[in-house]
Amino acid sequence: MQSILTVIGTRPEAIKMAPVLLAMRGAAGIRSLLCVTGQHRHMLDGVLAEFGLEADFDLDIMRPGQDLTWITTAVLEGLRPILADTRPDWLLVHGDTTTAMAAAMAGFYAGVPIAHVEAGLRSHDLGRPWPEEMNRVVVDRMASLFFAPTAGARRNLLRERVESGRIAVTGNTAVDAVLAMRGRILADPALAARLEAALPALAPGRRIILVTGHRRENFGAPFAAICQALLRLAARGDVEVVYPVHLNPAVREPARRMLAGVPHIHLLPPLGYAGFTHLLMRASVVLTDSGGIQEEAPSLGKPVLVLREVTERPEAVKAGTAQLVGTDTVRIVAATNRLLDHPAPQRERANPYGDGQAAARILARLRQADQRATAAATSRAPARASAGVMLSAG
């Protein structure tokens, strides 16, 4: 029986790991355990409920005004006894969150081999996105098994001297999740009707601009410039701007101050995954600084304008499914107007991030995981433990 402990803490991690967790839950010979850190509390819990997932362990670390130091130390302390008690064969982490970085570090200290889903993404700029670029680089330095979503991510890992045999190109699990949820919505008219009824009253005949924004490097003046762009776009007279606002006060407060009450701008609380997928299906243009939406939208034929200067997901830009526009008001407005005034036929392009089978590939690779990687990672634990004793005694 192969024991796998998955650690997640945020809404995006829950969405992207749900297909993997569901695949492992039904797999013979695998004991799948789930630990949530609660880095995002309510947003995380809602997604788990939508996918029918329950945590075996809950660190419940979220605190008012929490910062990165608190998240890191709380995850390290919380995982230490869980790793000691469960002694998993693999610790599975996802992406670039502080939860993923701290969980990988806890596993590294405990001598547990780490498998990294969404490995190898790089912007090559530690400041953008911050701290996510640092987090994913650190996780990949500690990992033994790498699930790269694209060939480009694999090349990044090879340049960093990761052995090719430890890398599997799987596609991105975000595509698995969005295609599965779209299928549920299309197959269930009652569900689609409930999701539509939950939206605000949108003027008929107007196209929807879907907006998300939460990156730390965009806080302050860049976010204010984004809001100015939304004000100008709402004044076009033929669109509805729909913005599910992140709960972080650094996003929520300026969004309310600048955008609340403006005609044809709708500020919503964070949506469940079904509700967000339904809205994405209805949107004409997506403005976002999210990584996951750059992966999901191409499967639904939706053009994406990325509110960042650099992206660790260049495949979308190369494929023409996304365009970098940064946070300059004029650039955002001009690019959005071009898409609205000269729309390309909506079609489901070949998604550079996969075909919806990433979870199955990850499960297959875990089943045939290189035992030498497990043995090598485990053999390092006594040396680290001895060093710790010497340091504490000295």
The tens digit of pLDDT for each residue in 142-173 reads 999 999 999 999 999 999 999 999 999 999 99
> What pTM did the predictor assign?
0.87
Do 220 and 109 fall within a single domain? no
Do 389 and 287 fall within a single domain? no
Do 316 and 387 fall within a single domain? no
pLDDT at position 346: 55
| 309 in catalytic set | no
Phi, psi angle pair for 16, to nearest 5°: -75, -25
Complete DSSP assignment for 29-84? TEEEEEEE--SSSHHHHHHHHHTT---SEE-----TT--HHHHHHHHHHHHHHHHH
| 118 in catalytic set | yes
The verdict on residue 176 lying in a domain is no
- CA 273, distance to chain mean position in Å, is 12
pLDDT at position 345: 64
pLDDT at position 349: 58
* Active-site choice (13, 132, 133, 217): 132
| 182 in catalytic set | no
| 214 in catalytic set | yes
Q: Which of these, 364, 383, 378, lies nearest to 89 by C-alpha position?
A: 378
* Active-site choice (13, 89, 96, 217): 96
pLDDT at position 330: 97
Burial class of 379 by CB neighbour count within 10 A (0 to 12, 13 to 18, 19+):
exposed
Section 33-42 average pLDDT? 89
Do 167 and 51 fall within a single domain? yes
The verdict on residue 135 lying in a domain is yes
Do 38 and 122 fall within a single domain? yes
| 264 in catalytic set | no
Phi, psi angle pair for 89, to nearest 5°: -75, -35
The strand order across the sheet containing 304-306 reads 265-268, 239-244, 207-212, 285-288, 304-306, 322-324
Determine the structural domain holding residue 365 and report its residue range: 2-171+357-393
The verdict on residue 179 lying in a domain is no
> How many separate domains does the chain show?
2
The verdict on residue 180 lying in a domain is no
Q: Compute how many other C-beta atoms are within 10 angstroms of the C-beta atom of residue 366.
A: 22
Phi, psi angle pair for 309, to nearest 5°: -85, -25
Do 363 and 332 fall within a single domain? no
Q: Which of these, 263, 296, 259, 255, lies nearest to 279 by C-alpha position?
A: 296
Query: Between 375 and 271, where is the model more confident?
Result: 271
* Active-site choice (40, 122, 182, 214): 214
The verdict on residue 348 lying in a domain is no
pLDDT band, residue 373 (cuts 50/70/90): very low
pLDDT at position 255: 93
| 3-state SS assignment for residue 372 | helix
Instruction: Look over the chain and give the mean of its residue pLDDT values, rounded to a whole number.
Output: 90
Do 12 and 142 fall within a single domain? yes
Instruction: Mention every residue, 6+ apart, whose C-beta is less than 8 A from residue 51.
Output: 14, 18, 21, 22, 273
Do 212 and 92 fall within a single domain? no
The verdict on residue 184 lying in a domain is no
* Active-site choice (89, 118, 217, 240): 118
Find the DSSP H helices in the chain. Answer: 11-25, 42-50, 68-86, 98-110, 132-142, 151-159, 173-187, 189-197, 221-234, 249-259, 273-282, 291-296, 314-319, 329-341, 358-367, 371-393
| 240 in catalytic set | no
Q: Pseudo-torsion of CA 24, 30, 36, 37, nearest 10°?
A: -130
pLDDT 10s digits, 114-129: 999 999 999 999 988 8
Do 94 and 140 fall within a single domain? yes
Q: Compute how many other C-beta atoms are within 10 angstroms of the C-beta atom of residue 184.
A: 14
Q: Which of these, 165, 177, 175, lies nearest to 365 by C-alpha position?
A: 165
β-sheet bridge partners, residue 347? none
User: 228 and 220 in contact (C-beta within 8 Å)?
Assistant: no
pLDDT 10s digits, 290-304: 888 999 998 898 999
Q: Which of these, 244, 246, 245, 255, lies nearest to 220 by C-alpha position?
A: 255
- Indicate whether 213 pLDDT > 50: yes
The verdict on residue 224 lying in a domain is yes
**C-alpha to C-alpha distance for 351 and 186, rounded to whole angstroms:** 20
Do 10 and 152 fall within a single domain? yes
**C-alpha to C-alpha distance for 88 and 368, rounded to whole angstroms:** 16
pLDDT at position 348: 52
pLDDT 10s digits, 72-98: 999 999 999 999 999 999 999 999 999
**C-alpha to C-alpha distance for 57 and 96, rounded to whole angstroms:** 21
The verdict on residue 193 lying in a domain is no
- Indicate whether 43 pLDDT > 60: yes
* Active-site choice (11, 215, 246, 282): 246
pLDDT at position 48: 94
CATH classification at residue 327:
3.40.50.2000
**C-alpha to C-alpha distance for 85 and 222, rounded to whole angstroms:** 45
Is residue 204 reached through a cis peptide bond, with omega within 30 degrees of 0 on the bond before it?
A: no
Do 372 and 334 fall within a single domain? no
Do 145 and 22 fall within a single domain? yes
